[in-house]
Amino acid sequence: MSTIGRFVILVYDRTSSCESVDEARQELFTHKGRAIEPIPPTSAALFQHAKRALFQAAYVWGQALLRTPELPDPSDWGWRKGTSGMWEPLWTTLPEACKSCQELIKCGCNVDKGCRGRCKCVKAGVACTTYCKGHGDCERPS
């Protein structure tokens, strides 16, 4: 999985030295100012995608010419049964982003000067995180 991860990282940032897609996501989001949409998938989402691709290539296409192909259970390969009974992709095993959106707030405060009135974290009422410019080491005025 590390080879696939490294390939995906280089697709999004050809100069990156990151070894994991999660590390690359954090780097691109915090230090290179990218929005959340054009960054690599999480390692959990990439793993599910790789399982679906392997299932399709090895099992579905591999047995395409057989009259009665013997396919393993798709739920073991990145798929789940939807409400309609049809198989649909299992995008990730992580909780939805909206449940942890507080972690996506980041500020650009200077570590030396500390967080002030324009700080996005202060306005949202949350502590600075590692996604902030100061990596969560910002000082807040009392």
Q: Would you kindly state where each structural domain of the chain is located, as residue ranges?
A: 2-97, 98-142
78 or 108: which carries more pLDDT confidence? 78
pLDDT tens for 89-105 read: 999 998 776 555 666 67
Give the tokens for residue 25: 């996501």
pLDDT tens for 50-88 read: 999 999 999 999 999 999 999 999 999 999 999 999 999
For residue 89, the 8-state DSSP code is E
**pTM for this entry:** 0.68
Q: Give CA 67 to chain center in angstroms.
A: 39
pLDDT tens for 15-32 read: 999 999 999 998 888 887
